[in-house]
């Protein structure tokens, strides 16, 4: 076996995964802190500010507390599925990060290019969609294997909610695909750079549909019926300790993933606003990549803030309202928009 | 025109956007949380904290002892010969553990030597630490002395 092949296909991806996982885990952990702090500010409180400066060690304290709690498996539960279900939720949420391109590739002195992406697959968006559909299994299995009524109902609701919102989400992402002509993340960003503006403007309807569907997909307020965080009656009622933490972290990882995805699809990803990226990249490649990551992070943070903002503002929808919005409003809207985008693609953006 | 405005409101989800505006106002408003250990609260003038006794002005009349509904004050006057010249109590005990902070002992005091202080942190590890005797009863003259029937309070409060 060729040594270069091993380096290129095993060594480098593993290294990249390690390099990616550390910031992703940190961001997901601090998303919890961010949400609690900002939610506190919205409610005239201060939020957690006791552990460390500004409460910055709070996520670690929370994690340790959950880690040290007793691992309870209910007597009625199906033990194997009960134990493995959180992993089904946890795993897809983190794998999704692997196909996102974080910046323009970095060229070494020897002429080798290293992309800021773990797996630059040409169906990147589809991979994320498929993985987000897999996340339902964790919720369904967890609710069903708990052997209790509330989790079962919670997971059933979750399944129908996810089905109802998966379709508009996919359709809105498809319209981005039509505009860009590719499922590869770097191509989508490149298409936005070529367009001179972001897909936010031609795809404003798709953007709206994506936002609403993403909030519903991540089970957050105002669509947090499966979880019911305020009543703790949802699919993870019977979970405690580390297994609950898995669901919890998966939810926040999904929030971060959808925020990053929205930034990439509609706000130009790592494109630096008001700057000619190609010219800057020709002059200072490393600087452009770093600034690109920073601008990507800022754009993602905007969406993360939006997620917290609407949680602090809007009350929860009733269940029938939720499904009606999904099937009777978002679905036709996304479908018509897809048609319009196709026409736009045919006549204007050839 | 009216229908157009309604349509515009419907398309822009005006109610939802208005809600976002309301919460944003609260985001930047000052917070109501008390930062107690970091920032000491400014207590009101009438705060009924721990009882302080000015032993030097006390005349051992035992009015406070009789007024106390909990019986947590014990005053021991000095021996008769001493009392003729020096009326300061031989011993003054306050069991702060039983104290209701009702202020009934403060009103009858003819010299105003027993009074509430602003001291409110009375948590101790051993309940015996809450039994204050003559030596441990401090008198902080800087502390405001509030009396419910006193005329000077009216002046002081102004």
Cβ atoms of A203 and A173 closer than 8 Å: no
Report yes or no: A312 at the B interface, CB cutoff 8 Å. Answer: yes
In 3D space, the residue among B49, B46, B24 whose CA is nearest the CA of residue B120 turns out to be B49
Q: Omega of the bond prior to A222 within 30 degrees of 0, cis? A: yes
Summarised one tens digit per residue, pLDDT across range B116-140 is 888 888 888 988 888 888 888 766 6
Closest chain A C-alpha to B39 CA, distance in angstroms: 14
Written as one string, the DSSP assignment of A90-111 is: HHHHHHGGGG---SS-EE-TTS
pTM strictly above 0.80? yes
Task: Collapse the DSSP code of B76 into the 3-class scheme (helix H, G, I; strand E, B; otherwise coil) and give the result.
Answer: strand
Task: Collapse the DSSP code of B132 into the 3-class scheme (helix H, G, I; strand E, B; otherwise coil) and give the result.
Answer: strand
Check CB contact under 8 Å for A309 and B22. Answer: no
Check CB contact under 8 Å for A38 and B27. Answer: yes
Residues in chain A: 350
Residue B49, pLDDT score: 86
Report yes or no: A38 at the B interface, CB cutoff 8 Å. Answer: yes
Q: Which of B18, B19, B36 to probe by mutation at the A interface, max A CB count within 10 Å? A: B19
Report yes or no: A319 at the B interface, CB cutoff 8 Å. Answer: no
Residues in chain B: 158
ipTM score assigned to the predicted complex: 0.80
| Structure token pair of residue A22 | 């550390």
Check CB contact under 8 Å for B26 and A44. Answer: yes
Task: Collapse the DSSP code of B7 into the 3-class scheme (helix H, G, I; strand E, B; otherwise coil) and give the result.
Answer: helix
Pairwise CA distance, residues B150 & B158, whole Å = 14
Residue B143 DSSP label = S
User: pLDDT tens track of chain A, all 350 residues?
Assistant: 677 888 878 888 888 899 999 999 999 999 999 999 999 999 999 989 888 899 899 999 999 999 999 988 999 999 999 999 999 999 999 999 999 988 888 777 777 777 888 888 888 889 999 988 888 888 899 999 998 888 898 888 888 888 899 999 999 999 999 888 889 988 898 888 888 778 888 888 999 999 999 999 888 888 888 777 777 678 888 898 899 999 989 999 999 999 999 999 999 888 888 888 888 888 888 888 889 999 999 999 999 999 999 999 998 888 889 999 999 999 999 999 999 999 988 887 66
Residue identified by tokens 């519903």 is A216
Of B19, B27, B31, the CB nearest to A46: B31
Pairwise CA distance, residues A42 & B21, whole Å = 11
Residue B20: list chain A partners with CB under 8 A.
309-310, 313
Q: What chain A residue is nearest to B24 in terms of C-alpha separation?
A: A42
Residue B158, pLDDT score: 45
Residue B19: list chain A partners with CB under 8 A.
313-314
Cβ atoms of A47 and B33 closer than 8 Å: no
Cβ atoms of A33 and A48 closer than 8 Å: yes
Pairwise CA distance, residues A314 & B13, whole Å = 12
CA torsion through residues B13, B18, B19, B24, sign:
positive
Pairwise CA distance, residues A142 & A134, whole Å = 13
Of A44, A46, A313, the CB nearest to B29: A44
Residue B151, pLDDT score: 46
What kind and span of H or E run contains A113?
A: strand A113-114
In 3D space, the residue among B106, B101, B119 whose CA is nearest the CA of residue B147 turns out to be B106
Residue A321: list chain B partners with CB under 8 A.
none
Cβ atoms of A118 and A99 closer than 8 Å: yes
Residue B103, pLDDT score: 87
Check CB contact under 8 Å for A313 and B22. Answer: yes
Residue A37: list chain B partners with CB under 8 A.
none
**Residue range B37-66: average pLDDT?**
87
CA torsion through residues A230, A233, A235, A240, sign:
positive
> Which stretches does DSSP call E strand in A256-307?
none
pLDDT surpassing 80 at residue B70? yes
Task: Tell how strand B131-132 and strand B91-95 pair up.
Answer: antiparallel
Q: Which of B14, B33, B35, B39 to probe by mutation at the A interface, max A CB count within 10 Å? A: B33
Report yes or no: A314 at the B interface, CB cutoff 8 Å. Answer: yes
pLDDT surpassing 50 at residue B154? no
Quick one: how far is CA A145 from the chain centroid? 26
């Amino acid at each position: 076996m060729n040594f270069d092949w091993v380096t290129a296909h095993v060594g480098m991806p593993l290294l990249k995964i390690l390099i990616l996982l550390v910031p992703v885990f940190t961001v997901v952990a601090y998303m919890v802190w961010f949400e609690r702090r900002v939610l506190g500010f919205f409610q005239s409180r201060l939020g957690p500010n006791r552990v460390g400066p500004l409460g910055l060690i709070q996520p670690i304290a929370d994690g340790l507390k959950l880690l040290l709690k007793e691992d309870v498996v209910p007597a009625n539960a199906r033990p194997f599925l009960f134990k493995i279900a959180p992993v089904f939720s946890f795993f897809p949420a983190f794998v999704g990060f692997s196909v996102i391109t974080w910046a323009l590739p970095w060229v070494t002195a020897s002429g080798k290019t290293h992309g800021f992406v773990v797996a630059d697959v040409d169906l990147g968006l589809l991979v994320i969609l498929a993985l987000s559909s897999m996340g339902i299994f964790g919720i369904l299995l967890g609710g069903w294997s708990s052997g209790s009524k509330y989790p079962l109902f919670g997971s059933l609701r979750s399944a129908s909610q996810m089905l109802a919102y998966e379709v508009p989400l996919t359709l809105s992402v498809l319209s981005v695909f039509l505009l860009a002509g590719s499922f590869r993340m770097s191509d989508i960003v490149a298409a936005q750079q070529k367009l001179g503006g972001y897909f936010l403007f031609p795809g404003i309807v798709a953007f709206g549909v994506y936002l609403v569907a993403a909030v519903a997909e991540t089970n957050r307020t105002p669509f947090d019926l499966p979880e019911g965080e305020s009543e703790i009656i949802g699919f993870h009622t019977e979970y405690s300790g580390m297994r609950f933490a898995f669901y919890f972290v998966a939810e926040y990882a999904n929030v971060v993933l959808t925020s990053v995805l929205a930034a990439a699809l509609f706000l130009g990803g790592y494109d630096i606003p008001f700057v000619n990226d190609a010219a800057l990249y020709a002059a200072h490649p490393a600087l452009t990549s770093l600034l690109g990551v920073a601008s990507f992070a800022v754009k993602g943070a905007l969406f993360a803030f939006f997620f917290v903002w609407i949680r602090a503002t809007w009350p929860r929808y009733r269940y029938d309202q939720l499904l009606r919005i999904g099937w009777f409003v978002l679905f036709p809207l996304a479908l018509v928009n897809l048609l319009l985008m196709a026409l736009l693609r045919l006549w204007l953006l050839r | 025109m009216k229908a157009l405005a309604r349509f515009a409101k419907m398309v822009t989800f005006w109610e939802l956007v208005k809600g976002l505006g309301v919460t944003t106002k609260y985001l930047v408003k000052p917070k109501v949380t008390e930062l107690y250990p970091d920032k000491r609260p400014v207590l009101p003038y009438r705060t009924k904290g721990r009882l302080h006794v000015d032993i030097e002005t006390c005349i051992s009349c035992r009015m406070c002892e009789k007024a106390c509904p909990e019986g947590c004050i014990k005053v021991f006057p000095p021996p008769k010969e001493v009392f003729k010249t020096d009326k300061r109590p031989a011993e003054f005990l306050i069991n702060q553990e039983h104290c209701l902070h009702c202020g009934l002992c403060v009103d009858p005091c003819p010299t105003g030597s027993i009074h509430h202080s602003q001291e409110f942190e009375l948590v101790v590890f051993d309940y015996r630490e809450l039994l204050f005797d003559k030596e441990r009863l401090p008198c902080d003259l800087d502390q405001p002395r509030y009396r419910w029937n006193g005329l000077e309070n009216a002046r002081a409060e102004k």
